[in-house]
Amino acid sequence: MSQLLSKKLKVALIQITSGADKSANLAHAKEFILKALAKDPSIDLTILPECFNSPYSVSEFANYAERIPDGESTRFLSQLAKENKIYLVGGSIPELGDDGKVYNTSVTFDREGQVIGKHRKAHLFDIDIPGGITFKESITLTGGDKATVFNLPEFGNVGEGICYDIRFPELAALAAREKNAFAMVYPGAFNTVTGPLHWHLLARARAVDNQIFVLLCSPSRNLDLSYHAYGHSLVVDPNGNIIAEAGEDEEIVIAELDPVLLTKTRAGIPVTTQRRFDIYGDWSKNTDPRAI
């Protein structure tokens, strides 16, 4: 089993707003990533929000969908990672699959611009809160069919979900227990109804459940758009403490993930070695080997 986290990892969450112009959205993402690197050149990993290259709208997903890895956004992000020698979680984009279906997909790149991870949002955001919000991604999107873990060679393994995926603890548990992931990353666009309810709670729960770091990267809030993102991109440590958090506007959040904290947390409260599989079984051993 690989080491949990081999050394300190500097991360930057890029909380920005996306409009109708895809090219402008890509340029805006680059602008903020370069700002982050100018502020702190030691940043190793940058993370963009869900649907950073398009509006977050059921009626628009198909219009912005593109192939991966040959589409405009993937090629753009690959070059950006390579030019700046950073790891880059490309938020998510609408993907046109080879099967003709549209997915909400995140692509991760290494320092040379090579794809090292691809996650299709597994749990589609289909909700109806009376007096709150109704949204049904399944009208135009198809859910992915696997859990995702990617490797940062100098650091270790990282699991990924997209937004609504965080409400289902199994993805994080699989990443932490089966692949020794030290963190979960969730590009996500909670809104002004669901955000105040559960954004912080879910991030802290996934961190404490698995004694890992949890990173959530949201779009900034723009009331001129039809969908009002919650904002509040944040980083949670393995004890459930929020160690960095944005507000509602466009912002760069920089944090350092320290392996010493992981070790201390797990030594102090050793839940990772105290599970009673003799009572409730180890469901993670019964997964399809393709899952991660």
**Contact, 8 vs 161, CB < 8 A?**
no
* Catalytic-residue membership of 31: no
Query: Which is the catalytic residue, given 50, 66, 95, 178?
Result: 50
Query: Which is the catalytic residue, given 163, 178, 217, 245?
Result: 163
* Catalytic-residue membership of 51: no
Nearest 5°: phi and psi at 146? Answer: -155, 160
Query: Which is the catalytic residue, given 22, 118, 121, 179?
Result: 121
Q: Tokens 């409260």 identify what position?
A: 269
Which residues are CB-contacts of 68 (< 8 A; sequence separation ≥ 6)? 74, 93, 95, 105, 107, 118
* Catalytic-residue membership of 251: no
Count CB atoms within 10 A of the CB of residue 233: 29
Q: Tokens 């227990």 identify what position?
A: 177
How do strand 148-152 and strand 156-160 relate by DSSP bridges? Answer: antiparallel
Distance between CA 164 and CA 41 in Å, rounded? 32
Reported as type and span, the H/E element at residue 215 is: strand 213-217
Q: Which residues are known catalytic residues?
A: 50, 121, 163
